[in-house]
Amino acid sequence: MNRDTAAHRPHVVLVGGGHSHVQVLRRMMMRPWPEARVTVVLDTPVAVYSGMVPGFVADQYRASELEIDVVPLARLAGAEVVLTPAVGVDPPDRRIRLAGRAPLAYDFVSFDIGSTVAGLDLPGIRERARATRPIARLVREIGTLSTSFLAHAADRPFEVVVAGGGAGGIELAFTVRERLLAAARRAGIERPLRITLLQALPEVLTGFPPSLAVRARRNAAARGISIRTGVSVAAAEDGGVRLESGEVVPADSLIWAVGAGSLDVFRDSGLPLDEHGYVLTRPTLQTLGDDRVFAVGDCATLQDWPATPKAGVYAVRQGPFIADNLRRVVAGRPLRRYRPQPDFLTLLNLGDGHALGAKWGTSFEGRWVMDLKDRIDRKFMRKFQVLDDGGGTTGEFSRMDRTAMEAMVCGGCAAKAGQTTLDRALGRLRDELGPGAGGRDGSVRLGLEQSDDAAAFATPGGDVVVSSVDWFKAFSGDHWLNGKVAAANALSDLFATGAAPRYAMALVNLPDDETPEAGAETLYQLLAGARSLLDEYGVALLGGHTTVGPELTVGFSVEGHPIGDRLLTLDGLEAGDGLYLTKRLGSGVVLRGVMLGQGRGVWLETATAQMVCPNGKAARAAVAAGLRAATDVTGFGLMNHLAEMLRASAVSAELDVSALPALPGAEELLGSGLRSTAHEANRKIAKAIRIETEASRHPRLELLFDPQTAGGFLAGVPDARSDDFLGRLREADVEAVRIGTVVPRAEDGAVATIGCGLP
């Protein structure tokens, strides 16, 4: 396709994974949306369903039961994912500002980012209180409350103060009580407990039927929970909460649930805000200031209904509307108008199997109310939880047709030509050219004959230049990340030879189905991501070359100079050397799992955080410690890269499969039978190695063949130098694991023996 005639696909960006946006993604999964490119921007890969948090506090639910992993949901919907917090929006430029990276362009954007908690700027609150927002942090930290309670002195009550008398504060007062008393029972001890709820308004549950407040007070009194209304908190202090009246209420723990507060994303956007800082929206859910910007849930205020509470039930109801309206605005069709429901079913968890409820002006309570709440909450969550606790696919998601997705070839270093192909081509070339080809003047230090990670040559002036070129098919729709990882991958080729990179040239192939404008944005994101890393390492980006073709590829040609007096090479291993590996294995299968909607967001987060770190610190430690042999582990997998070293050095190795470090999720995905598309080609090396029976059954065996993108630094370390090398790594905050030992060449020609346990 000619790029000048390529059809423009509008870029729709969903900022946040809240209750509305997960419904957008589910609808995209059920009815694909090829007319648009969709990207989800997340500050955290896991969204927490607020309706089940009180149940988690009361130990009625596991944490996983109230979590929605947005990453697999997005991938099944065909949406790309950017795991970076949004910090602002510039409507005139149509760009979203992201933390620590280049802004992201959009054609249309929707925000579903929730809110914070009001009053955090009061003295001592931020430092001493457990705030109910962000919810994920409250869920992570709630366990420490039980620890503090059990460690508390038994001669006086453990004082818990809950600030806020809305629905959230009421539920937390009851469910915290149940959690702490249950913890004491399990520990077989008695601890006096006193819970006090403070409410600034004259009554709790303002805005709900009055009878619901009566029921809440009656149940609180029956459980020894004190409710004080008409009192406002002025500050949090050591051991207490100071009220505006000057009174200090004892508090060993303060839970801050005083109501919603606006986030800063819209503060300097130029969009109209209400008096509390929330962006104003019309019934179409578009902002007043820009029809291309939508906002839903707690982050927005409806101009026609400004008194609508900041409650999750409204975000849930807005989900179908924002899903339809985004499709309609892209197609140029009239938008639907959302009107908030005048009444909704309220269900409040009391933590002991009972709940309070209200609807149509009346209230009710009992175990049946809690059963109803549980059924409603679980039904909602089943629609969005793609993976179960064991990593398997749940319910209807397991029945999805993934044929087209499974046919997709992996990106990153997993998309490189197989090593067999490379060896055959280079072998023929060496045979035809003969010894010393291309370097008969003695200037070539590393070239075709060595098959090392980089080439090296001496200039007429005697300086040694180390050079490498590396690129791969993009593995993500996050092009800033693609650029940064490609830069890290290219730099590591030089680091693997003990050289420091100084200059870089970009090599980019842009997709031919992108418009010139879209291609320019893609190139900008790639180079901006690369620059963020190259600048950090003092590498100058001098320019590059751009072509157009069927798919996006990105890479760099890099040049530098040796760090020390000699280069690290493949042929420097000697029997007795320990084999040490930095970085964990499994990026190939993790990226594959994410591509197919079978990988968790936290797995992707961990893998990408590792991939953007070049091996510079490890290389400097190796050179300073006087090591001779090293390589980096990339697309051919650990075993093939190690085999290159062993063959070049005319030795063998004994490896401990149980010592192989694994990325989170790698074992689970490999155990399920999932493989990167390059895995089987890499596994052909198994014919040249000996695998002991116990090792053949080990769950980490397949990590040997998993293709790595920007993988770790593999070094041969003589025993006499190991303390020096490992000490330098520790000082540089780099972890390394001994995975095996170099041994004399095996008589049967086996490249390596794989066992369980180091020799």
One domain for residues 567 and 445: yes
d(CA 453, CA 616): 14
Same domain, yes or no: 269 and 255? no
Burial class (CB in 10 A: 0-12, 13-18, 19+), 147: exposed
Q: Encode pLDDT of 218-233 as tens digits.
A: 999 999 999 999 999 9
Q: Which of 342, 364, 381 is the last residue of a domain?
A: 342
Confidence of residue 396 (pLDDT cuts 50, 70, 90): confident
- Say whether both 217 and 297 belong to one domain: no
User: Residue 495 domain-assigned?
Assistant: yes
**Residue 269 domain-assigned (yes or no):** yes
pLDDT tens digit string along 703-749? Answer: 999 999 999 999 999 999 999 999 999 999 999 999 999 999 998 88
Spatial CA neighbour of 84 closest among 412, 474, 480: 480
The sheet with strand 86-90 has its strands ordered as: 86-90, 95-98, 101-105
All residues at 6 or more sequence positions from 516 whose CB lies less than 8 Å from its CB, including other chains: 3, 4
pLDDT (0 to 100) of residue 342: 87
Same domain? 693 vs 746: yes
Would 149 be classed as within a structural domain? yes
In Å, what is the CA distance from 244 to each residue of 46, 129, 236, 520? Answer: 38, 17, 11, 57
Q: By C-alpha distance, which of 165, 148, 14 is closest to 80? A: 14
330: DSSP letter: H
Given 299, 410, 413, 613, the catalytic residue: 413
- The strand pair at 553-562 and 67-69 is best described as unpaired
pLDDT beyond 60 at 649 = yes
- Computed over every residue of the chain, the mean pLDDT equals 93
Q: Residue 519 maps to which CATH number?
A: 3.90.650.10
Summarize pLDDT for 399-434 with one digit per residue, the tens. 877 777 766 677 766 655 555 655 565 556 555 556
Stretch among 445-459, 611-625, 721-735 having the lowest mean pLDDT: 445-459
Asked if residue 399 belongs to a domain, the reply is no
- Averaged pLDDT for residues 286-311: 95
What's the pLDDT band for 598 if we cut at 50, 70, 90? very high
- 169: domain CATH number is 3.50.50.60
Do 593 and 709 belong together in one domain? yes
Predicted pLDDT of residue 653: 97
d(CA 269, CA 486): 33
- pLDDT tens column, 525-553: 999 999 999 999 999 999 999 999 999 99
pLDDT confidence of 335, banded at 50, 70, 90?
very high
Range of the domain at 203: 125-261
Q: How many domains does the chain have?
A: 3
pLDDT number for residue 440 = 55
Q: 542, 493 in Cβ contact below 8 A?
A: no
Quote the DSSP letter at residue 44: S
Residues 533 and 641 in one domain: yes
Same domain, residue pair 421 and 484: yes
- pLDDT tens per residue, range 75-121: 999 999 999 999 999 999 999 999 999 999 999 999 999 999 999 99
What are the structure tokens assigned to 744, written together? 């004399």
**Residue 671 and residue 738 share a domain:** yes
Model confidence pLDDT, tens digit, residues 484-536: 999 999 999 999 999 999 999 999 999 999 999 999 999 999 999 999 999 99
What is the phi/psi pair of residue 652, to 5°? Answer: -125, -175
541: left (phi over 0), alpha (psi -120 to 50) or beta: beta
Mean pLDDT confidence for 639-662 = 96
Per the domain annotation, does 67 fall within a domain? no
Query: Rounded mean pLDDT of 142-152?
Result: 93
Q: Which of 207, 239, 261 represents a domain boundary (last residue)?
A: 261
φ/ψ of 673, rounded to 5, equals 95, 0
Residue 141 maps to a domain: yes
More confident residue, 690 or 391: 690
Q: Do 143 and 157 belong together in one domain?
A: yes
- pLDDT-based confidence at residue 462 (cuts at 50, 70, 90): confident
**Other residues' Cβ atoms within 10 Å of the Cβ of residue 406:** 12
End residue of a domain, out of 314, 342, 370: 342
Is the pLDDT assigned to residue 307 strictly greater than 80? yes
Q: Is the pLDDT of residue 436 over 80?
A: no
Which amino acid, one-letter code, is at 644?
A: E
CA nearest neighbour of 106 among 36, 43, 47, 45: 36
Under 8 Å between Cβ of 19 and 68: no
3-class secondary-structure state, position 631 = strand
Locate 484 and state its tokens: 């940064």
Answer yes or no: do 317 and 452 share one domain.
no
Residue 102 lies in a domain: yes
Q: Which two tokens stand for residue 201?
A: 């308004």
307 and 256 share a domain?
no
Q: Is residue 361 part of a domain?
A: no
- Global pTM reads 0.92
Residues 536 and 573 in one domain: yes
Distance in angstroms (rounded) separating the CA atoms of residues 448 and 463:
20
Let me know how many helices (H) and strands (E) the chain has, helices first.
21, 38
167-181, 256-270, 422-436, 594-608: least confidently modelled range: 422-436
- Active-site annotation holds for 413: yes
pLDDT of residue 432: 59
Residue 391: is its pLDDT beyond 90? no
